[in-house]
Amino acid sequence: MSGEVLIRCDDVHKTYEARRTLRELVMPRHGDGHAIRALDGVSFRLERGRVLGVAGESGSGKSTLANLLVGLERPTGGLIRMGDRDLARLHGKELLAFRRQVQMVFQDPFASLNPRFTVRRTVEEPLVIHGIGDRASRLARVREALEEADLRPAELFLDRFPHQLSGGQRQRAAIARAIVLRPSALVADEPVSMLDVSVRAGILRLLRGLVDRLAMSLVFITHDLSLIGQMCDELAIMYQGRIVELGPALDVLAKPLHPYTRALIAAVPVPDPEQRPADDAVALLEAMAPSASVHGCRFALRCVYAVKRCHGDDPRLRPIDGAHEGACHEIERIRTAEKEKSWRH
């Protein structure tokens, strides 16, 4: 690895304590039945200028990860480092300085812009908060950010309200807000899933272009695996608060290691009527209990390849092909089985 590591997560945990009811306070139950483990030991590092895709079902912890990375929430365990700073230890002024470094693009461009702010105020606001420049220089930076987000000419958009913009334009305004502080990292939480298909590619290209030009790092959170190839250098597949597979994006898509990744990829519909849809083996996953076994692999109860060991022994991410890692005991066996299957066809 050559580049400078910008984001580093080491064994990050986030546990939510549910509020106890009166009855439970009086008669406490054993165990930590109340804790919801949203993130359960997540580790990765991301270099400057690279894009990490994070994919998984709802409840896999990908949104929690986003909130932790931008400092909206604090981890309950582990280490998140941004450059040389440890996020969990930041307070006051330092936290504010950190916030300049990481910005976020949200899923819903209709709700992530203040409906009473013009585009100009929306994009200017981060500058005002951080006390950057005077009125004139701020306006110049707002203009620049808008043009970088392909809202050209900026004059045309400065005085518009969100409801006067199309979905794609709103998301561009939100991106302009995110880059106006010149952050070194961006977190994009499903940035195109609410947009019309015809404008999605433009937003994705814009984000990728900004990452390359401004040498930022981007964490791209999505449930749509078919967008990963366009955007990402690396890909992390999350399941129940864990990264179960991590590696170069195209390798993960082309040669998935983990049974869960295989199922995810097989389940994606394809815009081709000639393609035979995935069989019910994948669909079966849905019906099976999603509750995780406590000691073994989180996926074991839904896994068609699970053996006895999977229920007792918790697999950790381990390198398989160079940088391509998987958290599964049976990767080698599954590979051979799949190869035989494809030979027979």
* Binding of another protein by 142 (CB under 8 A): no
Task: Name which of residues 6 to 45 contact another protein (CB under 8 A).
Answer: none
Cβ at position 312, least distance to another protein in Å: 25
Task: Name which of residues 264 to 283 contact another protein (CB under 8 A).
Answer: 264-275, 277-278, 280, 282-283
* Binding of another protein by 63 (CB under 8 A): no
Encoded tokens for 253: 């898509």
- Using CB under 8 A, pick the residue from 79, 132, 139, 199 that binds another protein: 199
Listed in sequence order, the DSSP H helices in the chain are: 22-26, 62-69, 92-101, 119-129, 135-148, 155-158, 167-179, 197-214, 228-231, 249-254, 259-267, 280-287, 308-312, 331-344
* Binding of another protein by 155 (CB under 8 A): no
Return the SS3 of 235. strand
On whether the CB atoms of residues 249 and 256 are closer than 8 A, the answer is: no
Nearer to another protein (CB atom), residue 34 or residue 160? 160
* Piece in contact with another protein (CB under 8 A), picked from 3-11, 20-28, 169-177, 211-219: 169-177
* Binding of another protein by 159 (CB under 8 A): yes
Cβ at position 40, least distance to another protein in Å: 19
Encoded tokens for 231: 């955007």
The C-alpha atoms of residue 79 and residue 13 are separated, in whole angstroms, by 9
Task: Name which of residues 214 to 253 contact another protein (CB under 8 A).
Answer: 223-230, 249-250, 253
- Using CB under 8 A, pick the residue from 4, 196, 313, 332 that binds another protein: 196
On whether the CB atoms of residues 36 and 219 are closer than 8 A, the answer is: no
Cβ at position 187, least distance to another protein in Å: 9
* Binding of another protein by 337 (CB under 8 A): no
Nearer to another protein (CB atom), residue 336 or residue 342? 342
Torsion angle of alpha carbons 180, 171, 245, 239, nearest 10°? 120
* Piece in contact with another protein (CB under 8 A), picked from 37-45, 159-167, 304-312, 318-326: 159-167
Q: How far is CA 56 from CA 73, 235, 242, in A?
A: 20, 11, 10
* Piece in contact with another protein (CB under 8 A), picked from 36-44, 116-124, 136-144, 211-219: 116-124
User: Kind of pairing, strands 185-189 and 5-17?
Assistant: unpaired
What are phi and psi for residue 124, nearest 5 degrees? -75, -30
Encoded tokens for 282: 């994948």
Contact string 285-324 vs another protein (x = CB under 8 A): xxx-------------------------------------
Size of the site for another protein (CB under 8 A): 87
**Biggest CA pair distance of the chain:** 71
